[in-house]
Amino acid sequence: MKPYIWILLFFLAFGHSYASYSQNKPQHLRLKIIQTTDVHGAIFPYDFIKDEQTKYSLASVSTFVQIERAKKDEHTILLDNGDILQGQPVVYYSNFIDTSKTHVCAAVMNYMKYDAASVGNHDIETGHAVYDKVNKEFEFPWLAANAIKDRTETPYFKPYTIIEKEGIRIAVLGLITPAIPNWLPENIWSGMHFADMIESAKKWVGILKEKEKADLIIGLFHAGVDYTYNNQTEKTNLNENASKLVAELVPGFDVVFAGHDHREYNLIISGSDSSNILLLDPGSHAKKVAVAEIDLDWNIAKNKYDKEIKGKIVEMNNYQPDTVFVNKFEDYFINTKNYVDRVIGQSKRTFNARESVFGNSAFVDFIHEVQFKLTKAQISLTSPLSYNFEIKKGAISVRDMFKLYRFENFLYTMNLSGKEIKDYLEYSADLWFNQMNTQEDHLLKYTIDEKGKMSFINPYYNYSSAAGIKYTVDVSKPNGQKINIISFENGQAFEMDKIYSVAINSYRGNGGGGHLTNGAGIPKAELDKRIINSTDKDLRFYIIKYIEEKQYIDPAKRNNWEVIPSNWWKIAKKKEYKLLFPEIK
């Protein structure tokens, strides 16, 4: 047979497949996709709050990534999955103290050559001035396809990006947890709203397949895996933690990177089209990274790539910090260190958070005191935002305030009825305290693991108490019947049908924890109408100012509430204190 006949037959049989190769696509390609998530300001191998070195940070991730990038015959892609702008003082300093320089996260992540990142809820929490600036400074796309502009119904951030490696098109779709309005005041996310992750994924996967002709589709979702969290279901609209649901219900993804819940996952998920999707989450604070290893081999018969995809979680404490990184960004480190070391006042006594787990405490009452001063409200509601922190007698530094008040909450003044306040406290007590039938029963709601370690069943930051009123918590009573409000602290009558002004942080005031919605029964849509005013800066900022003005603080218990029966409380507290704090003698 003549040569041109062979050529003709080849094109008739394999012309379509050959065309794929003619578009500069290789027969084989190996990819490594590295994910960081929920870094929360762990930029340097140093904890500015605890004032100690750490064995994990982006500096160590930088070393790991450089090692991977130096390997031959494979391509490395670096992704971040949100919540990097809050957590450590080094990002707070860039967010709010020295805003003239390039943000530390932009400087560091540009140096590390991130290929893309998603936006997290704690990134949004910093406010427009911060995240809009950072978005401009990033030299890579910051993604959130379901954060939608109100005016145009188009994404506020970029929805996706296409990364090409030897002609192979890798699509990265970013999604953010849509539950942000449940926690944050509207002015922080003004101009946008948040669409359901499943519906958004369906829309954009179609575009990635049909328009972008993606060979691989990667989900970069700042949302958790447990879609039943907080009594939600797979049918809950705007589910907070829908990463796994998207993998299961939206065909097309090869890998889904999750985040937000600070949990570690390396799972194979079965999709609705019987495909297998790798789901990865390395946890938080740059202690680990997730790595998706992908081998692509062209299948002539199928006219597409066969994909072998494996996942692993890699510990960062085995990698030394990148010395070039540390030296290059030394000024950010020094400026932050000087900031947190600054003395703002003196404490006349030592006080700690440990007592606040069991009842009334000087630690929580100090926060009440500040909230009263800022708002002039009749009642204050707050929670212990640490359960094992101590402020010692003597000098108080800015660092101590990051231990005392961990989050960047604003402070609201709201109108609540007497009954709503009681129901709020009932809800908190039901999360917090067990129903005791004898003095031998548990006081707190907790579990003990196989190693004897005690863990709270519900987060301690939802253990909310009140100041301004006198009340008791009767742990012998069932749920919904524990609270008895006696009067205001000054003896004034407390009435269920009256409206009172209440100081409460923005997380709680927007429905966080469910105290106002599930507990007090206020519809979520009505909460905004209850807000009288709000601070323009975070509560920690005002606590610092409060101490600077007073110079000396003398925290003491208000003794305005107690847990009864008191003898049961004393016996159980002594036992459970040893369980919870075995290191305290």
Cβ neighbours for 575, distance < 8 A, ≥ 6 positions apart: none
Q: Which helix (H) or strand (E) holds 491?
A: none
Residue range 370-378: average pLDDT?
97
Report whether pLDDT(9) > 70: no
Nearest in space to 383 (alpha carbons), one of 483, 487, 514, 259: 514
Q: Left, alpha or beta for 359 (phi > 0: left; psi -120 to 50: alpha)? A: left
- And the tokens for 254? 């090869």
> Contact 550/516 with Cβ under 8 angstroms?
no
Task: Give residue-wise pLDDT tens across range 177-223.
Answer: 999 998 888 889 999 999 999 999 999 999 999 999 999 999 999 99
pLDDT grade for 65, boundaries at 50, 70 and 90: very high
Helix/strand/coil for 18: helix
Residue range 551-573: average pLDDT?
96
Domain with CATH 3.60.21.10 in the chain: 26-336
Domain with CATH 3.90.780.10 in the chain: 342-580
Q: Which alpha helices (H) appear in 211-310, and where do they start and end?
A: 243-249
Task: Give residue-wise pLDDT tens across range 474-483.
Answer: 999 999 999 9
Q: Which alpha helices (H) appear in 389-455, and where do they start and end?
A: 398-404, 418-432
Superfamily of 26-336 according to CATH: Metallo-dependent phosphatases (3.60.21.10)
pLDDT grade for 473, boundaries at 50, 70 and 90: very high
How many helices (H) and strands (E) the chain has is answered by 17, 31
46-47 vs 116-118, strand pairing mode? unpaired
Place of tokens 């922190």: 389
What is the model's pLDDT at position 403?
A: 87
Tell me which architecture the domain covering 342-580 has in CATH.
Alpha-Beta Complex (3.90)
pLDDT grade for 25, boundaries at 50, 70 and 90: confident
Q: Which amino acid is at 446?
A: Y
Report whether pLDDT(288) > 90: yes
Other beta carbons less than 10 A from residue 283's beta carbon: 18
pLDDT grade for 14, boundaries at 50, 70 and 90: very low
How far apart CA 276 and CA 247 sit, in angstroms, is 9
Residue range 357-384: average pLDDT?
96
**Terminal Cα-to-Cα distance of the chain (whole angstroms):** 94
For residue 565, whether the previous peptide bond is cis, meaning omega lies within 30 degrees of 0, is yes
pLDDT grade for 23, boundaries at 50, 70 and 90: low
Helices 362-375 and 539-550: crossing angle in degrees, nearest 10, is 90
Report whether pLDDT(10) > 80: no
Other beta carbons less than 10 A from residue 94's beta carbon: 27
Report whether pLDDT(6) > 50: no
How far apart CA 43 and CA 95 sit, in angstroms, is 14
The secondary structure of 521-543, three-state, reads CCCHHHHHHHEEEECCCCHHHHH
* CA R_g for the chain: 27
- At 313, give phi and psi (nearest 5°): -110, 130
pLDDT grade for 585, boundaries at 50, 70 and 90: low
> Contact 145/173 with Cβ under 8 angstroms?
yes
Residue range 520-526: average pLDDT?
95
Q: Which helix (H) or strand (E) holds 33?
A: strand 28-36
pLDDT grade for 69, boundaries at 50, 70 and 90: very high
